[in-house]
Amino acid sequence: MRRARAGLIIVAVCSVFLLAARAVVAAPLRTSATAKGLFVGAAVNMTPFRNEAIYSDTLRRELNLLVAENAFKFDALHPAQTTFNFTDADALVAFAQANGMAIRGHTLVWSNQIPSWLTSGSFTRDQVIAILRDHIMTVVGRYRGKILAWDVVNEAIDGNTGQLRTDTFWFQKIGPEYVAMAFQFAHEADPGAILYYNDFEAEGSGTKSDGVFNLVSGLVNQGAPIGGVGWQMHKVNPFRITAANHTNAQRLAALGLEISITEMDVRIPLPSDAQKLQDQALAYSDAVTFCLDEPNCAALVSWGFTDKFSWVPGTFNGFGDALMFDMSYQPKPAYTAMQTVLEAGLGNAPPVPTGLQATAGSGQVQLTWNASAGATSYNVKRTTTSGGPYTTVGSSTTAAFTNTGLTNGTTLFFVVSAVNASGESANSTQVSATPQAAGFSLSATPASLTINRGACGTSTIGITRTGGFTAGVAFTVGGLPSGVTASFNPGTTTGATTLVTACASATAAVGAATLTVSGTGGGLTQTTPVGLTVTSTADTGGVTVTPTLAANGPWFNEQQVRVTSTANLTALSITIVIQRTAGVSFSGQYNTVGGQIAQSNTSTAGAVTYQFTLAAGQTLGPASDRVFAAQTSGSGTAHPTSGDTYTVTYTTGGQSFVQPGHF
Ligand code: G3I
């Protein structure tokens, strides 16, 4: 009965958590417990819950069920007749839901922790029934659909007689009917919750457990909506499960009731020692084994989990160390023993995912990793503190996940684990990412250039894109000194860099300046400075350029650029611009290099432009007076050549140069 129900509840209440089943050694208890369809839980003390991160971190890591130690009790929730206080209860429910944990509600009707406005008031029977109904409808109704099981009535049986206690407020004000009424009201408020009767010394044989059995079988027979019996199990070390516990579980199963161990602790006479802790471990592992063996056992809940916070030392003088974690939140032998039982027989989890990478976007982070063999899904976990603890933020059936709704500027740390039917791997290596608003920034490497007159220098402009910014960025430059030109390659890019080349002419202004490189894209403009110093040193890379007027007659002109180089030229481009004074037009062009040079020309009303370009991949060795000639026709008037210009751009020794001039 429990297996099927727990599975459904896990799917409904904590589907994220179902995926967290894992079987690696030393996995948290909740992982293997979920894989086996069992709830493992603990009572929560709200003071450390609010004040010690390790307290809530341990809860979320280890357990798949929570119950409040006091926060759901009558006096806590209902301090005055018309006042309810849900602050703590709401916080616990929100925490459990956020972490894929089920919740037990404890407790609606008990003779302890009921407020004095109720016990000291002079209410009639009907008024007390109305108060009980109002309390249950309000509290259970508020959390309808969120509470797995309610301890509707707590500790109502007298251990000496096996009958209902007669010394309680509820019995005395209402009579024995209060029990069935409470179940009815709770069922009305949340028909989906499993309604429990909860008591101590109800787990074995004897007057008390027989009394509990008789009470609940009477309720079942009269059709009351009871679904389970809680065995508190506040025990003294050493304690072992016996056949009587199994017999008792099975007679309750025969009534159609599930059971849960609801408040287990095993108090040790202090000081404890290694042997006592080993004995205690047997008590806890017995309880797990028992719950796994009895199909109607739904949950194993301890009353607290760390010895730092336990009701035991304050109540039982000379006793303590009753829980599975010590005062420093370190697991005790009891914890390890439970873990061993829970993990027994589980198959192999997939290997740990490798190659996790995070790419920050605006308000989101995209994660990718290498698929793990045999994984059916992956859990994605996040923290703001490097190293964890991590919270599961989603799962994916592929090796990729996008975590959205994030705050820009906050660095997050991610890990992933791989899941299959047998369990969950350990976490991957951590990666970090900081979501940023979409945009980009620019940087220059080197940040400043020094070039000689007649030479060029190059800086790489880096484009750092943030927040998933992918737009093309177009570049311009400002602040060029006289005689300096600059160009970008490429001029627009969707990539991560462009090159800016600044060239100083032979007559460029000497001195320091700051160029402003601007990039514009996606509606944004960013700039980066590039320092530029032009020196007075003339630098031509061993290349001499000589303009030569080979012919200057009334009917024909030939204007040559002659290039002499003392080293290899790996790039060469010559542009000659002849003014179209009266009657002048293109006549011809030639060079003395040959086929490596591509020639072309264009004419406008104002000028004829001649282009000579060394083909890509070609090299010209050292040579004197290579001729690049521009020919024009005249109409009877000698052409004045002083307005005609040329530009020779070339690369030698890996450096670029430019030599402009005029005839
Ligand atoms: O809330 C008051 C606080 O205002 C006051 O300052 C403080 C001073 O002592 O007391 C606080 O109330 C205490 C309350 O816990 C909340 O901390 C009570 O004194 C104290 O008696 C009470 O003890 C709880 C006890 O139930 C009450 O019967 C224990 O923490 C809690 O562990 C225990 O739990 C019960 C289960 O509900 C039912 N089964 C037995 C189990 C152990 O006794």
610-619 pLDDT, tens per residue? 999 999 999 9
pLDDT exceeds cutoff 60 at 26: no
338-375 pLDDT, tens per residue? 998 998 777 777 888 999 999 999 999 999 999 998 88
402-414 pLDDT, tens per residue? 999 999 999 999 9
Distance CA 302, CA 50 (A): 20
**458 phi, psi to nearest 5 deg:** -130, 140
Section 274-284 average pLDDT: 97
- 263 CB less than 6 Å from ligand 1? yes
Strands (E), 467-555: 473-478, 484-489, 492-493, 497-504, 511-521, 524-538, 543-552
Closest residue CA from atom 30 of ligand 1: 311
| Helical residues (DSSP H) of 471-552, grouped into ranges | none
For residue 61, how far is the Cα from the chain centroid? 17
DSSP state of 363: S
Among 88, 106, 113, residue to substitute to test ligand 1 (most atoms within 8 Å of Cβ): 113
Name the nearest CA neighbour of 30 among 266, 335, 328.
Answer: 335
What is the rounded end-to-end Cα distance, in angstroms, of the chain?
103
Distance CA 22, CA 3 (A): 18
Name the nearest CA neighbour of 190 among 133, 135, 147, 154.
Answer: 147
107-146 pLDDT, tens per residue? 999 999 999 999 999 999 999 999 999 999 999 999 999 9
Closest residue CA from atom 1 of ligand 1: 76
pLDDT band at 7 (very low <50, low <70, confident <90, very high): very low
How far does the centroid of ligand 1 lie from the alpha carbon of residue 148, in Å? 23
**What is the residue-wise DSSP string for 1-33?**
-HHHHHHHHHHHH-HHHHTT---STT--HHHHH
Q: Is residue 278 classed as helix, strand or coil in its secondary structure?
A: helix
Atom index in ligand 1 nearest the CA of residue 76 equals 1
- Which of 201, 263, 424, 558 is catalytic? The answer is 263
Atom index in ligand 1 nearest the CA of residue 200 equals 39
What lies within 8 Å, CB to CB, of 359 at 6+ separation is 365, 366, 367, 368, 433, 468
- 311 CB less than 6 Å from ligand 1? yes
pLDDT band at 504 (very low <50, low <70, confident <90, very high): very high
Q: Is the link from the previous residue into 446 a cis peptide, with omega within 30 of 0?
A: yes
Assigned token pair, 506: 């032979």
How far does the centroid of ligand 1 lie from the alpha carbon of residue 261, in Å? 20
Q: Which residue has the higher pLDDT, 173 or 23?
A: 173
Name the nearest CA neighbour of 379 among 337, 416, 410.
Answer: 416
Q: Is 155 a catalytic residue?
A: yes
Closest residue CA from atom 34 of ligand 1: 69
Closest residue CA from atom 21 of ligand 1: 113
414-470 pLDDT, tens per residue? 999 998 877 788 889 999 999 999 999 999 999 999 999 888 999 999 999 988 899
Distance CA 396, CA 356 (A): 14
How far does the centroid of ligand 1 lie from the alpha carbon of residue 618, in Å? 92
- 199 CB less than 6 Å from ligand 1? no
- 69 CB less than 6 Å from ligand 1? yes
Section 642-651 average pLDDT: 95
pLDDT given at position 9: 43
Assess contact for 23 and 53: CB atoms under 8 A.
Answer: no
